[in-house]
Amino acid sequence: MRRGPVDSGEPDRLYTVTGGRSIARDSVFDLVTLVVSEGEPPERGMQSEHVRILRLSRRPIAVVELSARLALPVGVVKILLGDLLDAGRITARHPKSSEPDADRLPAPETLKKVLRALQNL
């Protein structure tokens, strides 16, 4: 097995991409947060990673999928997404929760009847 050079340059690139930031400011994004670009074309002079995110997010895409497609760590992608969110270039939302609505649950009496019937089996 051959080892590569100790300093491959990758950490320096990530430092440059994020502007020296190592964590996202707030926890708006998690792995399954869906991101959608706002339809404005990328501006001239934008960072190439921002442009790629805007192109990839023309349709809803999860943060983890962006990370995979960009071949960047999730933490770096979250920082870049924070920049775009602050600039109003993207919207972010969490997928619909699987928790049922309280008004859609069966009445407690019905649940008690079902429980009794199951216990009688």
- What pLDDT, in 10s, does the model give residues 11-22? 677 767 766 676
The CATH fold assigned to 10-98 is Arc Repressor Mutant, subunit A (1.10.10)
Q: Nearest-CA neighbor of 84 among 44, 42, 31?
A: 42
**Residue 74 and residue 67 in contact, taking contact as beta carbons nearer than 8 Å:** yes
Helix ranges, 8-73 (H): 10-17, 48-56, 63-70
**Residue 66 and residue 77 in contact, taking contact as beta carbons nearer than 8 Å:** yes
In whole angstroms, what is the distance from residue 104 CA to residue 102 CA?
5
Q: Does the reported pTM lie above 0.75?
A: no
Is pLDDT above 50 for 41? yes
Strands 90-93 and 34-37 turn out to be: antiparallel
Q: 96-105, pLDDT tens digit by residue?
A: 755 556 567 7
